[in-house]
């Protein structure tokens, strides 16, 4: 029996490793907490390092994607959207890395044996020199904290710059017109009322410019702007703001007409259109915004670029015929049938020559050769479309033409033409022969046959760039100008009326033309609204974006 109790005491000792002494228990607890802190710090470091690595990988992927886009152009139709998605992903990953970095630093502060992980933070450019500096000096000690002496001598200073923002400030400008009476003839005189963009209006040019740019440049409807103004202590009715927009459109119409005249004197135009929902009785109709872009920079011209917008309730061909009724030249556009009568031989006042868009043609093949999209559909368990080697080869052949174009972009028309005759023409001949041979192997209703016929039936338009150095290979200039409309549709959803669509066309013309000339649209609109009343008709051209930019420089 004694042996049995001895074995029980031995088991108790083996099972319970904790000492009976209180001080020993405290020491054991302290050591355990220290090891826990170390483990927590190591885990936080590992998490911070993983987050930093993931953010760096996303940053490098984004850089590679941007470099590819710069080198190869918009080879993928989704490339812009994918870049935006990558930017959003990078924002979140950088936020995760910063949060985990601080957590690792806090965990490392609890222990002396685990150093904190140091993340390589994104480099920041110096703050712009034009920003005002407010100097805040921290009071220096009056005496030495070490010995108490008061004989202190300044050795220098360290300056830390912090970027701060002042909330938007509202103010009322009181324009005072004093009255005077003549003591001799008792005539009362008073200075005339200064011009206002809106007759008897209350909104200053800076406020109007902000209102217009937020609505048409930043896609913020007036009701949302009114809500924000109210939160800032300035309640304004949406109808009141809409009244100012209509009056500003009337005041700026002369500039719209000048831009219209400038665009329609070009020898070559890019044309395109996009849908705009508009409210109708009990439903929503699909209206159209049309754009015609003059951009001669690709062939080295010094003429300023500009974008002209029109609105129509439908997409009938009579609209582009009316827009370009007095114009003749080269029109770069897609294969929309409404343009066909513009290309008629013997047209008055002159011939309009069609120039095909290789981006549209390439897109049809690209959709049939998108390996990545097919892989994504399979990964989601969806049915993936077929990938055709013929489509892939067509994309590669067209891309070879784009490679040549990138090398001559911005050069003179004659130099571009010489390079095209030397390098592009043989590739185009081979492309035509190859497309014809592939078409003979396909059924009439095959998707590839439709893509091939899209080019072969318009072959003269697609090869016109070989005879004229001014012609671009794509119609991307018009598509870029129209990009603001789909962005806006997500915010304002529809136009309230046909007149609203026409106003949108006016302001899109002004804002997009300013952007094409690298001008801040809001600053330009504010100055124009301030000066347009006193500007003689003969000097209105000085207010156009390209001339205004030269004056500001």
Domain end, chosen from 108, 129, 144, is at 108
Residue 171 belongs to a domain: no
pLDDT band with cut points at 50, 70 and 90 for residue 283: confident
- Is residue 204 a part of any domain in this protein? no
Q: Where residue 10 falls among pLDDT bands split at 50, 70, 90?
A: very low
Mean pLDDT of 52-63: 70
Q: Which two tokens stand for residue 126?
A: 């110096």
pLDDT band at 303 (very low <50, low <70, confident <90, very high): very high
Contact present, 208 and 144 (Cβ < 8 Å): no
Instruction: Locate 128 and state its tokens.
Output: 């712009």
Structural domain contains residue 9: no
C-alpha 377/C-alpha 372 separation (Å) is 9
Domain count, the chain: 2
Chain segment 314-365, per-residue pLDDT in tens: 999 999 999 999 999 999 999 898 898 999 998 988 999 999 999 999 988 8
Q: Which of 53-62, 234-243, 345-354, 424-433 has the highest mean pLDDT?
A: 424-433
Question: Rounded to an integer, what distance in angstroms lies between the CA atom of residue 374 and that of residue 377?
Answer: 5
Handedness of CA 101, 102, 107, 109 (dihedral sign): positive
Name the 3-class secondary structure at 88. Answer: helix
**pTM beyond cutoff 0.85:** no
Domain finish residue from 63, 86, 108 = 108
Q: Which domain holds residue 74?
A: 25-108
Give 129's pLDDT tier (boundaries 50, 70, 90): confident
Q: What is the mean pLDDT of residues 41-47?
A: 75
Q: Which of 88, 108, 128 is the last residue of a domain?
A: 108
Q: What is the pLDDT of residues 454-472, one digit of tens each?
A: 999 999 999 999 999 999 9
DSSP structure class, residue 114: S
226 lies in a domain? no
In a domain, 388, yes or no: yes
Classify residue 401: in a domain, yes or no.
yes
């Amino acid at each position: 029996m004694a042996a049995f109790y001895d074995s029980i005491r031995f088991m108790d000792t083996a099972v319970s490793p904790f000492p009976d002494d209180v001080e020993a228990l405290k020491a054991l607890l302290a050591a355990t907490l220290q090891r826990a802190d170390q483990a927590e710090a190591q885990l936080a470091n590992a998490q911070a390092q993983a987050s930093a690595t993931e953010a760096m990988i996303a940053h490098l992927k984004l850089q590679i994607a941007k470099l590819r886009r710069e080198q190869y152009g918009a080879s993928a139709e989704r490339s812009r959207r994918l870049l935006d998605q990558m930017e959003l992903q990078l924002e979140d990953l950088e936020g995760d890395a910063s949060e985990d970095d601080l957590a690792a630093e806090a965990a490392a502060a609890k222990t002396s044996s685990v150093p904190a992980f140091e993340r390589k933070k994104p480099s920041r450019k110096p703050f712009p020199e034009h920003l005002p500096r407010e100097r805040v000096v921290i009071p220096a000690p009056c005496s030495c904290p070490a010995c108490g002496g008061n004989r202190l001598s300044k050795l220098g200073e360290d300056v830390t710059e912090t970027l701060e923002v002042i909330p938007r400030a509202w103010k009322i400008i009181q324009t005072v017109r004093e009255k005077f009476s003549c003591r001799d003839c008792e005539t009362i005189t008073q200075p005339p009322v200064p011009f206002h963009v809106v007759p008897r209006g209350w909104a200053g040019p800076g406020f109007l410019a902000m209102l217009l740019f937020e609505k048409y440049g930043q896609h913020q409807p007036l009701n949302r702007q009114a809500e924000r103004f109210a939160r800032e202590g300035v309640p304004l009715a949406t109808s009141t703001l809409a009244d100012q927009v209509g009056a500003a459109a009337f005041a700026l119409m002369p500039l719209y007409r000048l831009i219209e005249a400038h665009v329609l004197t070009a020898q070559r135009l890019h044309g395109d259109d996009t849908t705009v929902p508009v409210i109708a009785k009990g439903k929503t109709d699909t209206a159209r915004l049309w754009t015609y872009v003059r951009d001669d920079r690709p062939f080295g011209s010094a003429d300023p670029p500009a974008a002209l917008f029109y609105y129509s309730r439908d997409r009938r061909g009579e609209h582009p015929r009316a827009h370009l009724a007095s114009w003749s030249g080269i029109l770069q556009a897609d294969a929309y049938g409404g343009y066909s009568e513009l290309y008629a031989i013997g047209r008055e006042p002159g011939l309009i020559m069609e120039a095909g868009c290789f981006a549209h043609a390439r897109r049809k093949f690209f959709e049939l050769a998108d390996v990545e999209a097919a892989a994504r559909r399979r990964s989601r368990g969806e049915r993936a479309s077929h990938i055709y080697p013929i489509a892939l080869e067509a994309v590669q052949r067209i891309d070879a033409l784009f490679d040549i174009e990138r090398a001559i972009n911005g050069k003179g028309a004659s130099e571009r033409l010489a390079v095209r005759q030397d390098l592009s023409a043989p590739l185009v001949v081979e492309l035509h022969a190859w497309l014809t041979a592939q078409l003979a192997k396909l059924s009439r209703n095959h998707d590839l046959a439709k893509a091939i016929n899209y080019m072969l039936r318009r072959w003269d338009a697609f090869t016109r760039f070989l005879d004229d150095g001014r012609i671009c290979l794509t119609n991307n200039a018009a598509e870029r100008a129209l990009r603001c409309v789909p962005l806006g549709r997500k915010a304002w959803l529809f136009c309230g009326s046909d007149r609203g669509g026409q106003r949108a066309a006016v302001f899109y013309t002004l804002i997009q033309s300013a952007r094409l000339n690298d001008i801040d649209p809001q600053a330009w609109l504010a100055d124009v609204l301030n000066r347009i009343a006193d500007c003689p008709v003969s000097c209105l051209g000085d207010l156009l974006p390209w001339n205004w930019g030269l004056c500001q420089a």
